[in-house]
Homo-oligomer: A and B are copies of this chain.
Amino acid sequence: MSAKVTGAARYTDDIVLPRMACGRILRAPHARARIRAIDVSRALATPGVLAVITGRDLETKYGILPWTEDEHALALEQTSYVGEGVAALAAIDEPSARAGLAAIAVDYEVLPAVLDPEEALAHPEIKVNPSAREGNVSKHVDLSFGDVEGAFANADVVIEEEYRFESNTHAALEPHCAIGDADFDGNLTLYSSTQVPHYLHRALAKVLGLGAERIRVIQPAVGGGFGGKSEPFDLELCAAKLALLARRPVKIRYSREEVFYAHRGRHAMKMRFRTAAARDGKLLAVQSKLLIDGGARSSFGVVTTYYSGQLLAAPYHLPAYAFNATRVFTNKPACGPKRGHGSVQPRFAFECQLDELADCLELDPIELRRRNALGSEVTTINGQAIGSNGFRECLDAVERASGWREKFRKLPFGRGVGVAGSTYISGTAYPIYPNEMPQSAVIVKLDRSGQVVITSGVSDIGQGADAMLARIVAKELGCSLDAIRVHSGDTELCPVDLGAYSSRVTMMAGNAAIEACASLKERLGDIGSDFAGAVQRAEAKFGTLVGVGGYRTKKLGGDYRGGSIGASPAYSFTAHVAEVEVDARTGFVHVTKIWVAHDCGRAINRTAVAGQMEGSAAMGFGEALFESHAFHANGVHRGPNLLDYKLATTLDSPELEALIVECPDPAGPHGAKEAGEGPLHPSIPAIANAIYDAVGVRLRALPFSPERVLAALKGRKS
Give A residues with C-beta under 8 Å from B: 1-3, 6, 8, 10, 14, 16, 18, 183-185, 187, 201, 205, 211-216, 435-438, 441, 443, 445, 447-453, 455, 482-483, 485, 487, 491-493, 495-496, 532, 536, 539-540, 543-544, 546, 548-550
A495 contacts which chain B residues (CB < 8 A)?
445, 447, 544, 546
- Contacts A6-B184, A437-B448, A540-B436; is A443 near B546 (CB within 8 Å)? yes
Give the chain B neighbours of A548 by CB distance below 8 A.
543-544, 546
| Cβ contact within 8 Å between B441 and A213 | no
CB distance from A464 to the nearest CB of B (A): 15
Is B546 touching A213 in the complex (CB atoms < 8 A)?
Answer: no
Q: A445-B495, A493-B453, A493-B487 are in contact. Are A544 and B550 (CB under 8 A)?
A: yes
**Across-interface contacts of A491 in B (CB, < 8 A):** 447, 449
* Assembly CA distance A320 to B6 (angstroms): 68
CB-CB < 8 A to A438: which residues of B? Answer: 539, 543-544
Question: B8 near A184 (CB under 8 angstroms)?
Answer: yes
One of B6, B441, B447 near A544 (C-beta < 8 A): B441
For A212, the closest partner residue in chain B by CB is: B449
Residue of A437, A455, A485, A540 with highest tally of chain B CB at under 10 A: A437
25 sampled A-B residue pairs with Cβ under 8 A: A14-B18, A211-B450, A211-B483, A212-B449, A213-B447, A213-B449, A213-B450, A213-B452, A213-B483, A215-B449, A435-B540, A437-B536, A437-B540, A438-B539, A438-B544, A441-B543, A445-B495, A447-B491, A485-B492, A487-B493, A495-B544, A496-B544, A543-B550, A544-B550, A546-B546
- How far is A183 from B540 in the complex, measured between Cα atoms in Å? 32
Give which listed residue, B184, B453, B549, contacts A492 with CB less than 8 A.
Answer: B453
Chain B residues near A447 (CB-CB < 8 A): 212-213, 491-492, 495-496
Question: How distant is the Cα of A544 from the Cα of B455 in the complex, in angstroms?
Answer: 12
Chain B's nearest CB lies how many Å from the CB of A147?
Answer: 41
Measured CA separation A546–B455 after assembly (Å): 12
> CA A492 – CA B486 in complex, angstroms?
10
Residue of B nearest to A181 (CB): B8
Q: Whole-angstrom distance between the alpha carbons of A214 and B485 in the complex?
A: 9
Residues on B with C-beta less than 8 A from A201 are: 449
Chain B contacts of A452 at CB under 8 A?
213
B546 with A184: CB separation less than 8 A: no
Give the residues in chain B near A436, CB-CB below 8 Å: 540
> 8 more A-B contacts (CB under 8 A) besides A212-B532, A496-B544?
A1-B185, A10-B18, A185-B482, A213-B450, A451-B492, A487-B492, A495-B544, A543-B549
C-alpha gap A400/B441 in the complex (Å) = 58
Please measure, in the bound complex, the distance between the C-alpha atom of A184 and the C-alpha atom of B215, giving whole angstroms.
33
A492-B485, A493-B493, A544-B496 known; A449+B205 contact, CB < 8 A: yes
Q: A3, B183: Cβ atoms under 8 Å?
A: yes
A8 CB contact (under 8 Å) in B183, B482, B485, B550: B183
C-alpha gap A448/B495 in the complex (Å)? 9
Most buried by B among A10, A485, A546: A546
Beyond A184-B2, A544-B438, whether A482 also contacts B536 by CB under 8 A is no
Q: Are A437 and B215 neighbours in the complex by a CB distance under 8 Å?
A: no
Asked whether B183 lies within 8 Å of A213 as measured between CB atoms, the reply is no
Closest to A8 in B: B183
